[in-house]
């Protein structure tokens, strides 16, 4: 048990095969986590996400932002995006994620879900611009939400609750073999901010 009454079992791989997912529980006290939530809510350049899918211009209710070491640029669902320079808080959180995982990250994708009506459908973070099998560190602030992983072949499903101020790590072959999603829920009326620290390939930045 840690100071906040959580059982921390960060050494346990939550996946039975085909990848590695570890839940580190809360990295921050409730007060610190709430402070990070507020500062991220106020300082991040939140935008509704855009995509062009089957000829339709879609705009998500969920807001997103992308930060990184350089002006990384990539095209996702035919909408191109460019990373913004790190803010002091993102750098501080990145440092903690790097210490916990023993890896380094060069970018961060942020999602803001206003309430349980907003979520994210099943996908893998396996875009070409991402380094293959690189570790992804996912940090959550605000409302606790359920996170599901589903194996691409066996369809086996694993569920994890992501607490305020917690860290989840996806590593090794996870993105090759498993999908993940954030289901919508009627039970949650409060907002949640999620940060996924990632490693982009060096070829993915703009050279202007
Ligand atoms: O909000 C989450 O916990 C998941 C976010 C996610 O899967 C992503 O940004 O790729
Ligand atoms: Fe993802």
Consecutive H or E run containing 94: helix 88-101
- The DSSP call for residue 205 is B
CA 194 to ligand 1 centroid distance, Å: 7
Q: How far is CA 8 from CA 29, 58, 166, 168, 182, in A?
A: 14, 40, 11, 12, 22
Q: Rounded distance, CA 182 to CA 149, Å?
A: 9
User: Does a structural domain hold residue 179?
Assistant: yes
Whether the Cβ atoms of residue 2 and residue 9 lie closer than 8 Å to each other: no
Q: What pLDDT was estimated at residue 207? A: 44
Determine the structural domain holding residue 159 and report its residue range.
20-204
Atom of ligand 1 nearest to the CA of 162: 3
User: Does a structural domain hold residue 184?
Assistant: yes
Q: Rounded distance, CA 70 to CA 115, Å?
A: 31
Q: What pLDDT was estimated at residue 30? A: 96
User: Does a structural domain hold residue 172?
Assistant: yes
- Smallest CA separation from ligand 1 atom 8, residue: 196
Number of domains in the chain: 1
Per-residue pLDDT of the chain (208 residues; tens, 9 = 90+): 555 555 555 689 999 999 999 999 999 999 999 999 999 999 999 999 887 778 888 888 899 999 999 877 766 656 677 889 999 999 999 999 999 999 999 999 999 999 999 999 999 998 877 878 899 999 999 999 999 999 999 999 999 999 999 999 999 999 999 999 999 999 999 999 999 999 988 766 554 4
Q: Which residue has the tokens 């995509």?
A: 51
User: Does a structural domain hold residue 7?
Assistant: no
Cβ of 178: how many Cβ atoms within 10 Å? 25
In this prediction the ipTM stands at: 0.99
Q: At what angle do helices 30-43 and 88-101 cross, to 10 degrees?
A: 130
Ligand 1 pocket by C-beta < 6 Å: which residues? 109, 111, 120, 125, 138, 147, 162, 180, 182, 194, 196
CA 182 to ligand 1 centroid distance, Å: 7
Residue to mutate, 21, 40, 111, 119, ligand 1, most ligand atoms under 8 Å from C-beta = 111
Q: What pLDDT was estimated at residue 208? A: 41
User: Does a structural domain hold residue 1?
Assistant: no
Backbone φ and ψ of 125, nearest 5°: -90, 75
CATH, residue 28: 2.60.120.590
CA 88 to ligand 2 centroid distance, Å: 24
* pTM score, whole prediction: 0.90
**With b meaning 16 or more CB within 10 Å and e meaning fewer, what string describes 21-53?**
bbbbbbbbeeeebeebbeebeeebebeebbeee
């Amino acid at each position: 048990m840690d100071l906040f009454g959580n059982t921390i079992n960060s050494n346990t791989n939550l996946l039975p095969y085909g990848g590695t997912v570890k839940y580190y529980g809360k990295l921050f006290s409730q007060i610190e986590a709430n402070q990070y939530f507020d500062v991220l809510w106020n300082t991040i350049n939140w935008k509704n996400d855009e995509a062009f899918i089957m000829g339709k211009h879609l705009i998500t209710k969920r807001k997103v932002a992308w930060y990184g070491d350089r002006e990384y640029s990539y095209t996702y669902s035919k909408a191109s995006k460019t990373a913004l320079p790190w803010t002091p808080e993102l750098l501080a959180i990145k440092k903690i994620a790097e210490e916990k995982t023993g890896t380094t990250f060069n970018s961060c994708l942020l999602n803001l879900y206003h309430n349980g009506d907003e979520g994210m459908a099943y996908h893998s973070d396996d875009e070409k611009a991402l380094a293959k099998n690189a570790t992804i560190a996912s940090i959550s602030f605000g409302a606790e939400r359920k996170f599901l992983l589903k194996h691409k072949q066996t369809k086996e499903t694993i569920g994890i609750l992501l607490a305020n101020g917690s860290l989840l790590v996806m590593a090794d072959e996870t993105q090759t073999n498993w999908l993940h999603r954030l289901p919508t829920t009627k039970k949650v009326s409060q907002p949640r901010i999620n940060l996924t620290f990632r490693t982009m390939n060096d070829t993915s930045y703009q050279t202007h």
